[in-house]
Chain A
Amino acid sequence: MTSHIDAPAIVFDHASFRLNGRALVHDLALSVNRGETLVVLGRSGSGKTTSLKLINRLLVPTAGEVRVNGRPTTSWDPIRLRRSIGYVIQDGGLFPHFTVERNIGLVPQIESWPADRVKARVQEMLALVGLSPDLIDRYPQQLSGGQRQRVGVARALAADPPILLLDEPFGALDPITRSEIQKEFRDLQQRMKKTVIFVTHDLREALLLADRVALMEEGRLIVNLPVAEFSHSRAPLVRAYMEAFSAGEPR
């Protein structure tokens, strides 16, 4: 992946994904630069999760292609591709039968890092996401929602992948924890400078975390703008989001 160092980290080249005759993603053209945080905003069924899965080849486009580091996902070894991309889902998607330590250390371990290096890396990751080292022997069910989510982020970062995909990661958290963890994530991202694709339906979250916002609706990309311009966009759907958002504000 060093050969295409000048290419954007991720390119959707008119990618579509159809399932049973229905276009879940239609002719998506979008690129994400290295170190950039793109937030894909949209409601349920808008195709944002499907788009995310096209990046790590959980799904393969039925038309067009998706390139990661200049190479189509279909020409990558899927295992190698996925191990170079961190993935965080709602509630962490943690393995319920693994302790926090094994969850976080899983990718380094299957990448055959020496055991002491895996251990040190787990400690480092716990510190990074603001969790106490005492938690390493706990099982996911013994953690709070916020702790599970932090473990999910720590696990995704453990092998230091250059790209991070997050699918509504903070959606299941209570508002106070969510707001804390969003700010922590923003600070973390400013230090790490990973290429981040963050999927959400929460406009506030999008505006807080994004460098750029891509708004999707019914499988199509509606707008794709730097965050500063997004809130001033005249696109009707953006206006609708902004109004729904301010309607939720205290008067």
Chain B
Amino acid sequence: MNLWHFLITNRQQVFDLTLEHITLVGLSILFAVLIGIPLGILITRVPQLSKAVLGGANIIQTIPSLALFGFLLPAPWIGERGGRLAVLALTLYALLPLIRNTYAGIRNVDPAVVEAGRAMGLTDRQLLFQVELPLASGVIVAGVRIATVVSVGLATIAAAIGAGGLGEFIFRGLAMVNNQVILAGAVPAAALALSADVGLGALERRLGTLRTRS
């Protein structure tokens, strides 16, 4: 098979670009988790903010990715390196599923259980960490999973701004009108997306059964 042949002869480069790809996605998801989950929690506590925060994250999602990369290009420090720029853009895209699922996950915890906790004298912090977040964890992980799968795909476009990753092969293949080279980027990217989906899906189910163990 020609694709196999290409992947094997260029295995070092395939490996490097895959690693680069994983780094881009991994960093973005990490930042998105660190920003998105606290924001999701915040809007369950200050519901007046929920419209603005969810609306803002929604608007970011509607910006075409190539345009977003372009917009961010003039930004100081960030714009200097393609990698930084790509991580910022991917983080912004990953925010919506994280904020939304954190918010929905907490809001969907059985109100009777939350009230029982409050009636027992749990402080707001204890209620959050011991009751609401554990019970919402399945839904929150589902958000991480959606964000990760989407990011793996979006990150291929980051090659257009010199951020590297498997998109390099895709753009190179397009320029060369060589399907094999395109596939050398697309197939490993698809494999990454699938494994993230399966792995996080398994975690999500585990947390789900923790919640409703029978």
Contacts and interface: CB of A to CB of B under 8 A. Distances in A.
B26 interface: no
Contacts of B122: 110
A146 B110 CA distance: 20
A95 B117 contact: yes
A97 B121 contact: no
A93 B134 CA distance: 16
Interface string A47-74: 0000000001010000000000000000
Interface string B170-192: 00000000000000000000000
A87 interface: yes
Question: For the complex, would chain A's binding face be called helix, strand, loop or mixed by DSSP majority?
Answer: helix
Nearest to A78: B121
B113 A93 contact: yes
Contact of A142 (B115, B131, B214): B214
Interface residues of B, number: 22
Contacts of B123: 79
Interface stretch (B93-101, B152-160, B205-213): B205-213
Interface in B121-163: 121-123, 126, 130-131, 134-135
A107 interface: yes
A85 B212 CA distance: 28
Interface of B: 110, 112-113, 115-123, 126, 130-131, 134-135, 210-214
14 contacts: A58-B119, A82-B120, A93-B113, A93-B116, A96-B211, A96-B213, A97-B134, A97-B135, A97-B210, A107-B121, A110-B121, A139-B213, A142-B214, A165-B119
Given A87-B119, A106-B120, 10 more contacts: A81-B121, A89-B112, A93-B115, A94-B113, A95-B113, A95-B116, A96-B110, A96-B212, A110-B126, A142-B214
